[in-house]
Amino acid sequence: MIDLSVEFCGVKFQNPIVLASGVLGVTGDSLAGVVRNGAGGATTKSLWPYQHEGHKNPTMFGTEEYFMNAVGIPDAGPEKAREEILRYREKCGAPLIANIVGGKMEDYAEIAAMAAEMKPDVIEVNISCPNVEDELGKPMACSVSKSAEVTRLVKEKVGDIPVTVKLSPNAPDIRAIAESVLDAGADAVTAINTLGPGLAIDIDAGAPILSNRVGGISGPALKPLAVKAVYDIYAARKCPIIGTGGVITGRDAIEMMMAGATLVGVGTAVYYRGQEVFGEIVREMNEWCVENGVSKISSLIGKIHAA
């Protein structure tokens, strides 16, 4: 019997696979459905301290090589979030990660306090969305000082709830950003958010495919960058990491863990393999462990650093 459980910042997950923010995380029922389909935990969509409109359709599309989205982080506001998180708790006992976002520093402090009252198991701070740059300016995740400042603000508001900060592959030195947020009090980091923004054009229509014109790049093309980011951060600090970006199969997830991830975020894999992908990835990880004589999956975390 393979032990697939892992402990992340003192929170036990039955397996390392968690829903990444932005996919299927809108309602309590959809979040619980991800766990029923095999995930060890789930992450909400990004929560704002106020209602926030996203971008107009079309907001996403995919190819075999990559996926692009410019949803624009829509949110119905904190009251709706409370309702849906309560619904999740009624239906599911697996750990819940609340992802929060803001347009300016004070927004993060406000939504952090609100999110703490909802009692998630972990709070994930989104400072790195690449497809809202025209609205909010350069992502905070590209600035060492701003990343640290927002981390301190959040930590002051959330009490004992562990905090992970979601980092951007656009940062010139992601290790420096990771170290800045950890030094500012973060308990963990999430690596990475989508890359970009990128642009795709429908040449027959003579227009951009997305209504926002540009969007964040995820899917298979992102995985090598995500694995390298996880590797670099773990090499620098050996902190708890949620590795996310381009994970489609069980082998992808194991690769992410060997680079240093404790949890593995899965998002756009739903586009490629359907909502059953969470359980399929867990099954594939279990089969690999059996074939390779691994009895406890946590033993794989950071394995290549000892090689």
pLDDT for the residue numbered 141: 84
Give mean pLDDT, residues 234-243: 98
Higher pLDDT among residues 1 and 186, named by residue: 186
pLDDT for the residue numbered 131: 53
Q: How confident is the model at residue 91 (pLDDT cuts 50, 70, 90)?
A: very high
Residue type, position 196, single letter: G
pLDDT for the residue numbered 137: 46
CA pair distance 199, 129, nearest whole angstrom: 15
Q: Which domains, from first to last, does the chain contain?
A: 6-306 (3.20.20.70)
pLDDT for the residue numbered 130: 64
pLDDT for the residue numbered 128: 84
Per-residue model confidence as pLDDT tens digits over 172-220? 999 999 999 999 999 999 999 999 999 999 999 999 999 999 999 999 9
Burial class (CB in 10 A: 0-12, 13-18, 19+), 206: exposed
CA pair distance 281, 170, nearest whole angstrom: 28
CA pair distance 130, 193, nearest whole angstrom: 8
Q: How close are the terminal C-alpha atoms of the chain, in Å? A: 26
Supply the residues annotated as catalytic: 129
Q: How confident is the model at residue 237 (pLDDT cuts 50, 70, 90)?
A: very high
Whether residue 168 is predicted with pLDDT greater than 80 in this model: the reply is yes
With contact defined as beta carbons under 8 Å apart, do 274 and 221 qualify? no
With b for 16 or more beta-carbon neighbours within 10 A and e for fewer, the 246-266 pattern comes to bbbbbebbbbbbbbbbbbbbb
Give mean pLDDT, residues 96-121: 96
Nearest to 154 by CA among 191, 190, 112: 112
Give mean pLDDT, residues 103-115: 94
Whether residue 246 is predicted with pLDDT greater than 70 in this model: the reply is yes
Per-residue model confidence as pLDDT tens digits over 65-79? 999 999 999 999 999
pLDDT for the residue numbered 140: 80
Q: How confident is the model at residue 57 (pLDDT cuts 50, 70, 90)?
A: very high
Residue type, position 50, single letter: Y
CA pair distance 240, 27, nearest whole angstrom: 27
Whether residue 133 is predicted with pLDDT greater than 50 in this model: the reply is no
222 alpha-carbon distance from chain centroid: 13
Per-residue DSSP letter, 91: H
Predicted TM-score (pTM) of this structure: 0.96
CA pair distance 172, 161, nearest whole angstrom: 29
Average pLDDT across the chain, whole number: 95
Structure tokens given for 47: 């929560």
Sign of the CA dihedral running 110, 113, 117, 118:
positive
Whether residue 307 is predicted with pLDDT greater than 80 in this model: the reply is no
Q: How confident is the model at residue 165 (pLDDT cuts 50, 70, 90)?
A: very high
Whether residue 306 is predicted with pLDDT greater than 90 in this model: the reply is no
Structure tokens given for 131: 């497809």
Q: What is the chain's length?
A: 307
